[in-house]
């Protein structure tokens, strides 16, 4: 493991080959009905494959970039779901799936949520509802430099289309080729569950001592106004530039990205990953509505009905699927392209 988080190179390049594999993975999930095609944001209609790719490709590249960062800078060999030998299911799962230990890859109990952020974004935002219902042990912010018009590069590689393109069109497309061959990314920082819970306690704890301790903790780590519990009525702001005002956001726990970069101790995160132990508290799998009815936080196969902790249930479901993949294929790590996966 490399010494000193300040010396880590947070600039990462994701190769074109992985970009194409991500397209293969998401296309497979779409073709085989492994994902929800319904979109509430699109008036309740079914999403097209193009929409699904565009919605998910940036996040998948962010996961790959963080995986490469763990390997290059922290000496940790890990896998994302794109790297796994077969498809597995679940609506509450880690983005970094497995850690190499000896000659094997073991499932991670320390769950990381990799969140893609845009270049002009000033905050890492974690929705309060997801913190309550699907908590993660750490949240990592990654900027992805995939050009917004990246799809034209794919279109150009259709022979019939390329023959029709004028020199002006080809020149425009060629400008983005370098950023497709090596997609620039930057690891912006991370917040652990302890950071998340401190922001929540500073805002909502009924204990004066807990509230005061939490406030002191987040100020010491992120500086004044470097973290904030947005309640849905407060606009985004820049703690280093009082003149900047952003839009209002929903209920979110927020960390100013510049402060997050300064506070992130990557050796500490590497240690937590290596220890491979969950740090979040219990998340109830079954809850009671106001009318007394019981409902499940997430749907799982009936064999997991006896679990009371949502995270334990999904951890077991996740590990059972990886074990099945290892038994059926002989390994967890993928060697073939997703474009060869039987449909």
For residue range 104-159, what is the model confidence (pLDDT) as tens digits? 999 999 999 999 998 889 999 999 988 888 899 999 999 999 998 999 888 888 98
Report pLDDT digits (tens) over 277-296.
999 998 877 655 555 555 55
The answer to whether residue 274 scores a pLDDT higher than 50 is yes
pLDDT of residue 294: 53
Distance (Å, whole) CA 326 – CA 259 = 41
Higher local confidence (pLDDT), 338 or 103: 338
At 40 the pLDDT is 47
Task: Give the pLDDT confidence of 50-76 residue by residue, as tens digits.
Answer: 888 888 999 999 999 999 999 999 999
Per DSSP (E only), the strands in the chain are 11-15, 78-79, 98-101, 104-107, 112-117, 123-127, 138-144, 182-192, 227-231, 235-237, 245-248, 251-256, 286-288, 294-296
User: 158-179 pLDDT, tens per residue?
Assistant: 989 989 999 999 888 888 888 8
pLDDT value of position 289: 55
Average pLDDT of the chain to the nearest whole number: 90
Q: What is the pLDDT of residue 177?
A: 87
Q: How far is CA 35 from CA 29, 39, 44, 57, 293, in A?
A: 6, 11, 15, 14, 28
For residue 138, what is the DSSP state?
E
**Would you list the domain boundaries of the chain?**
5-340
């Amino acid at each position: 493991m490399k010494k000193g988080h300040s010396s880590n190179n947070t600039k990462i390049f994701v190769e074109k080959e992985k970009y194409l594999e991500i397209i293969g993975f998401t296309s497979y999930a779409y073709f085989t009905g492994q994902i929800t095609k319904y979109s509430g944001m699109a008036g309740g209609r079914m999403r097209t494959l193009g929409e699904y790719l565009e919605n998910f490709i940036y996040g998948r590249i962010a996961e790959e970039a963080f995986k490469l960062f763990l390997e290059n800078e922290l000496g940790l060999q890990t896998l994302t779901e794109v790297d796994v030998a077969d498809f597995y299911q679940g609506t509450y799962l880690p983005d970094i799936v497995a850690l190499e230990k000896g000659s094997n890859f073991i499932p991670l109990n320390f769950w990381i949520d990799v969140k893609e952020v845009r270049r002009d974004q000033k905050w890492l935002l974690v929705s309060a509802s997801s913190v309550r219902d699907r908590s993660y042990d750490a949240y990592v912010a990654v900027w992805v430099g995939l050009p917004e018009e990246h799809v034209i590069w794919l279109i150009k590689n259709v022979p019939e289309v390329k023959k029709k393109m004028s020199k002006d069109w080809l020149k425009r497309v060629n400008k983005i080729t370098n950023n497709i061959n090596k997609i620039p990314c930057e690891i912006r920082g991370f917040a652990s569950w302890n950071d998340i819970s401190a922001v929540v306690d500073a805002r909502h704890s009924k204990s004066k001592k807990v509230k005061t301790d939490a406030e002191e903790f987040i100020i010491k780590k992120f500086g004044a106004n470097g973290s904030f519990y947005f309640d849905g009525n407060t606009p985004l702001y820049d703690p280093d530039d009082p003149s900047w005002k952003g839009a209002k956001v929903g209920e979110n726990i927020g960390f100013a990205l510049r402060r997050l970069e300064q506070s992130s101790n990557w050796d500490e995160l590497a240690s937590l990953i290596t220890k491979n132990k969950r740090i979040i508290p219990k998340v109830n799998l079954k809850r009671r509505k106001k009318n007394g009815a019981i409902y499940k936080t997430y749907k799982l196969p009936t064999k997991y009905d006896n679990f009371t902790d949502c995270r334990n249930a999904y951890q077991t479901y996740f590990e059972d699927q990886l074990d099945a993949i290892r038994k059926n294929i002989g390994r967890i790590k993928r060697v073939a392209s997703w474009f060869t996966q039987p449909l």
